[in-house]
Amino acid sequence: MKAVLYESFEEAPKVVSVEDPTPPAHGVVVKVEATGVCRSDWHGWMGHDPDITLPHVPGHELAGTVVAVGAEVANWSAGDRVTVPFVGGCGHCPECHAGHQQVCEQQFQPGFTHWGSFAEYVAIHFADLNLVALPETMDFATAASLGCRFATSFRAVVDQGKAGAGQWVAVHGCGGVGLSAVMIASAVGANVVGIDITEDKLALARELGATATVNSTHVADVPEAVMEITQGGAHVSIDALGHPATCFNSVANLRRRGKHVQVGLMLADHATPQVPMARIIGWELEILGSHGMQAHRYGAMLDMVQSGKLDPARLVGEQISLADAPQALMAMNTFQALGATVITRF
């Protein structure tokens, strides 16, 4: 099969021919119909993820069709249309038994712990626990955007942030994760403030339901601007980018007893950001992480998609070929793309 492969960190990946995968006894092989290009893939290529062993095939946001099934798999057959969370559970550890596969102690991550979906085929482990059936009405490009950005945002807004009607939600960074969070928070009845440095992304945030937007290059103090818009601060604030500045601002723009949810990865030089700890203590703020979403929670999200309350198709940006993927991957840290870049031609 054709796949994007890199043999050294920070060196240009290449499209090469490699052996087709075979399903493990508890897994399946999926023919990849679409796969997103995410900044997490860029972090992996830069060498920021200790789980990656070289040589490596990246890619973790995928949708496709089951083509081969392991002997122990009970719930899936060839021809099934599926997607998968970017964090898969092992099914045996205490966290998995508690339903928290997104923090599994021995998690399977296509594109990180194992070869990923920048390829014609990908093997998925523990299929009965981790695969998600796709609605027939959902195209593969849209489905590919669910596994990381959209599902992670759903968990961040709904399960971790517990945002509700009438609350103010601030979203720092209006890339794929941030725009997903804007749409989801608006759909559950919250008032959303989108914060970014580019006007085209802020315009799209308003189209997707943001009540107000802040261009952080046009204000002297982002937390103060959010405080003024919300008349006291956000109830829930999400750092969807993953930068020391956005992390700090997200905590600092909260009202008393508000929740900060960290979604954007903080790795390498950004791994230990400063936060206003005196404010966190004095105002009893909550600091929460959000790391993907369990397969068993996809039903609630997909029900909202089917009802029309959520429309992730609006967040699909440029559709590219596998041959274009190396350049797209290397450029992910420039934050230029509007919406999710998705590989749909193999």
| CA atoms of 50 and 79, how far apart (whole Å) | 34
Fold classification of 2-144+311-345 is Quinone Oxidoreductase; Chain A, domain 1 (3.90.180)
Amino acid 148: pLDDT: 84
Question: 153-289, superfamily in CATH?
Answer: NAD(P)-binding Rossmann-like Domain (3.40.50.720)
Encoding tokens for residue 336? 């230029």
Q: How confident is the model at residue 335 (pLDDT cuts 50, 70, 90)?
A: low
pLDDT tens string 229-254: 999 999 999 999 999 999 999 999 99
Q: Mean per-residue pLDDT for 272-285?
A: 96
The segment(s) of the chain belonging to CATH 3.40.50.720 are 153-289
pLDDT tens string 132-141: 999 999 999 9
| CA atoms of 119 and 234, how far apart (whole Å) | 41
The segment(s) of the chain belonging to CATH 3.90.180.10 are 2-144+311-345
Query: What is the pTM assigned to this prediction?
Result: 0.93
pLDDT at residue 13 tops 70: yes
CB 295 within 8 A of CB 140: no
pLDDT tens string 51-92: 999 999 999 999 999 999 999 999 999 999 999 999 999 999
Q: What would the DSSP string read from start to end of 128-177?
A: HHH-EEPPTTS-HHHHHTIIIIIHHHHIIIIIIS---TT-EEEEE--SHH
Is the sign of the CA dihedral 101, 102, 107, 108 positive or negative? positive
Sheet holding 168-172, edge to edge: 212-215, 191-196, 168-172, 234-239, 254-262, 286-289
| CA atoms of 113 and 294, how far apart (whole Å) | 17
CB 63 within 8 A of CB 143: yes
Q: How confident is the model at residue 267 (pLDDT cuts 50, 70, 90)?
A: confident
